[in-house]
């Protein structure tokens, strides 16, 4: 009886030892089948047509596919506005995200460690100087002495300045008023301001309601860029994740081009726009993310404009601010 008890005890000990070796031989950083465990990449996004191809890439699974190929999992974090994405970067809560070029420069000048890795979109027709439908303002020169509003520190301010300069006027020739887009829409209809620079989707909403007229847009004047940012740490330590995301967004752009009707239906819930309006707005955007010499030159012009108008805390070295592949 003792012999069998001893044998049983020895077998139990051997079994426990083997199990222990089996468990401990697999590193904590690996999962089943010896595949490295995925790391998380946190992406800040805004539900606007400016980023339609990115939303398509998310909904079609392209982002998950490309990130998982290089060992990353997606954490998709929607925000209401681009500046909120910049604030989340500054707080260390994001690895990549989207915003207009102006918030990107403002964050960089304030010390946020991020860089432009791609153009998110360009849409000169999605940014416009508008007036109330029955206004007697017919052209830019009619704005002299008038109340004109847009959001200070956003790209509408640059378009307004450029349009005035092209028509022989300066900002001090008008009464400039800082307003958010929601406030601008209300002020225009009330007659509190004579004109304003606004962007999509507000332009199309108000045009189709018969409330405003377009005096001039950014065509031939200003490209109206949105940009994709990545933190310095991600660029330095995990460039493969950045490249995977860029590939996914390219796939989203191609799918959007080939399947516009399907994509509008996919995006309608998040964009909260009627499908016909959304389709019209998306057609105004160029989602080719390639960083060109023209883009770099435009960003240098934007940096100089922002410096001149007191919008930056410090100078931004544009060549260092843009990641070139």
- pLDDT tens by residue, 251-291: 999 999 999 999 999 999 999 999 999 999 999 999 999 99
Task: Give residue 38's pLDDT.
Answer: 62
Lowest pLDDT segment from 11-15, 234-238, 285-289: 11-15
Residue 310 has pLDDT above 90, yes or no: yes
Q: What pTM does this model have?
A: 0.86
| Residue whose C-alpha is closest to residue 246's, from 57, 61, 59, 42 | 57
Is the predicted pLDDT of residue 315 greater than 90, yes or no?
yes
Q: What is the mean pLDDT of residues 232-260?
A: 97
Q: CA–CA separation, 76 vs 84, rounded Å? A: 15
Is residue 24 classed exposed, middle or buried when 0-12, 13-18 and 19+ CB atoms within 10 A define those classes? exposed
Q: How far apart are CA 98 and CA 103, in angstroms?
A: 10
| CATH 3.40.190.10 boundaries in the chain | 39-122+224-318, 125-217
pLDDT level of residue 3 (50, 70, 90 thresholds): very low
What's the confidence (pLDDT) of residue 20?
38
Phi first, then psi, for residue 191 (nearest 5°) are 85, 15
Q: What CA–CA distance (Å, rounded) separates 229 from 237? A: 15
Q: How far apart are CA 152 and CA 160, in angstroms?
A: 11
User: Residues 219-228: what's their mean pLDDT?
Assistant: 96
Q: Give yes or no for residue 43 having a pLDDT over 60.
A: yes
Average pLDDT over residues 153-177: 96
Token pair of 247 as six digits: 């590939």
CATH for 39-122+224-318 (3.40.640.10, 3.40.190.10, 3.20.20.140, 3.10.270.10): 3.40.190.10
- The CATH class of 125-217 is alpha beta
> What is the token pair recorded at 84?
């909120």
Strand order through the sheet with 39-45: 72-78, 39-45, 96-100, 225-231, 114-122
Beta strands at 175-178 and 147-150: parallel, antiparallel or unpaired: parallel
CB proximity list for 300: less than 8 A, separation 6 or greater: 318
């Amino acid at each position: 009886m003792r012999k069998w008890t001893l044998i049983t005890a020895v077998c139990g000990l051997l079994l426990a030892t083997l199990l222990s070796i089996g468990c401990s031989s697999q590193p904590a950083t690996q999962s089943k089948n010896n595949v490295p465990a995925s790391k998380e990449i946190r992406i800040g996004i805004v539900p606007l047509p400016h980023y339609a191809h990115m939303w398509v890439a998310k909904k079609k699974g392209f982002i998950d596919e490309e990130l998982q190929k290089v060992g990353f999992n997606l954490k998709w974090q929607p925000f209401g506005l681009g500046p909120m994405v910049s604030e989340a970067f500054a707080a260390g809560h994001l690895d990549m995200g989207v915003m207009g070029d102006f918030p990107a420069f403002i964050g960089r000048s304030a010390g946020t460690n991020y860089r432009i890795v791609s153009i998110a979109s360009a849409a000169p027709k999605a940014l416009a100087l508008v007036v109330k439908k029955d206004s007697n303002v017919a052209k830019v020169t009619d704005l002299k002495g008038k109340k004109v509003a847009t959001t200070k520190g956003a790209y509408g301010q640059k378009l307004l300045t450029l349009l005035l300069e092209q028509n022989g006027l300066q900002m001090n020739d008008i009464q400039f008023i800082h307003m958010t887009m929601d406030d601008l829409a209300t002020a225009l209809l009330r007659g509190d301001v004579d004109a304003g620079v606004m962007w999509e989707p507000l332009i199309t909403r108000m045009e189709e309601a018969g409330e405003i007229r377009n005096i001039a847009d950014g065509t031939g004047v200003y490209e109206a860029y949105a940009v994709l940012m990545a933190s310095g740490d991600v660029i330095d330590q995990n460039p493969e994740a950045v490249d995977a995301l860029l590939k996914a967004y390219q796939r989203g752009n191609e799918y959007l081009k080939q399947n516009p009707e399907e994509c509008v239906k996919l995006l309608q819930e998040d964009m909260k726009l009627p499908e016909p309006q959304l389709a019209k707005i998306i057609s105004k955007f160029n989602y080719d993310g390639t960083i060109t010499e023209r883009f770099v030159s435009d960003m240098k012009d934007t940096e100089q404009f922002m410096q001149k108008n007191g919008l930056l805390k410090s100078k931004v070295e544009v060549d260092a601010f843009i990641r070139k592949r």
